[in-house]
Copies of this chain bind each other. A is one copy, B any other.
Amino acid sequence: MTSQDIFKQIVNKKSFLCVGLDSEFDKIPSCLKQTNDPVFAFNKSIVDATAKYTIAYKPNLAFYESLGISGWQSLEKTVNYIKENYPEIFLIADAKRGDIGNTSKMYAQAFFEKLPFDAVTVAPYMGEDSVSPFLSYPGKFVILLALTSNKGANDFQFLTNPEGEKLFEKVLKTSQYWANSDQMMYVVGATRAEMLADVRKLVPNHFLLVPGVGAQGGSLSEVAKFGMNKECGLIVNSSRAIIFADNTEKFAERAEEEARKVQLEMEILLKEHHII
């Protein structure tokens, strides 16, 4: 998949929404708990209900790993189902991996060969050789953590060198030597929307994956104001606020309504910014 393919989807669907499949077992509606694979049944219903408003899905690996082997089975079925039925949709493994070269190569195999993901989130701490094995797959993306949306982001990401450069800025600058915007994106949290303006100066063309809208409190219009570029350049994630909007038999219907609401907001913002 290319950046242009993602942009086409944004224009067609009038949306830059990513739905995070943080499918926590305990929160899955009880009406699904008797099925053979409740996590997959839940994901399938959520995907079928929201796909027309959604340009990307982002399973959060932790929620599957926490269930052991059955979790990996649910994950595999989910991503294969999405790829088969909605091949245009961008599929992100939210895994935050990163290790020495020979190990990152194995993680890349896990997500890009064994599973049909289009992108994987990667932590930058170990530097270039921890990231580059993911870049040897044409049409696949690394989404590198830059500025995250959590409180702990303050612990290290703002460490500043004597020239005034912060760690997250150094990550943005240095990693551009590793890959261009057709293989690299960045995670930039929505709870710091005003920081998106600084980020955009450093990476004008790259897509930014923005978590933290919805349950984590970020504002969509602020994100668009500071982060949008000529080809949108934003993939905004919402997880719990959509997938767990309701826990009755109407969960999928309610998820659809929530996704539709966000899509309508996005449509207005895309028009305001003259993208559609």
Contact = CB atoms under 8 A, between A and B. Distances in A.
A65 B72 CA distance: 9
Contacts of A97: 62, 96
Interface stretch (A39-47, A102-110, A224-232, A249-257): A102-110
A49 to B, nearest CB: 23
Contacts of A148: 100, 125-126
Given A24-B106, A100-B216, A156-B174, 5 more contacts: A65-B106, A100-B150, A126-B152, A127-B151, A127-B152
28 contacts: A22-B103, A60-B106, A62-B103, A62-B104, A62-B106, A62-B110, A65-B107, A65-B114, A66-B113, A68-B72, A69-B76, A96-B97, A100-B149, A100-B150, A123-B126, A124-B125, A125-B125, A126-B152, A126-B153, A127-B151, A127-B154, A127-B156, A156-B167, A156-B170, A159-B161, A160-B161, A160-B162, A162-B162
Contact of A125 (B69, B99, B115, B157): B157
Count of this chain's copies in the oligomeric assembly: 2
- Sorted nearest first, the 5 A-B pairs with minimum C-beta distance are A127-B152, A127-B155, A62-B106, A65-B110, A66-B106
Contacts of A125: 123-125, 145, 148, 156-157
A27 to B, nearest CB: 11
A89 B24 CA distance: 32
Contact of A114 (B66, B115, B126): B66
A171 interface: yes
A98 interface: yes
Given A115-B68, A150-B129, A160-B162, A123 B96 contact: yes
A97 B69 CA distance: 18
Contacts of A94: 99
A101 interface: yes
Contacts of A174: 155-156
A268 interface: no
A80 B188 CA distance: 39
Nearest to A115: B68
A9 to B, nearest CB: 26
Contacts of A128: 151-152, 155
Contacts of A115: 68
A130 interface: yes
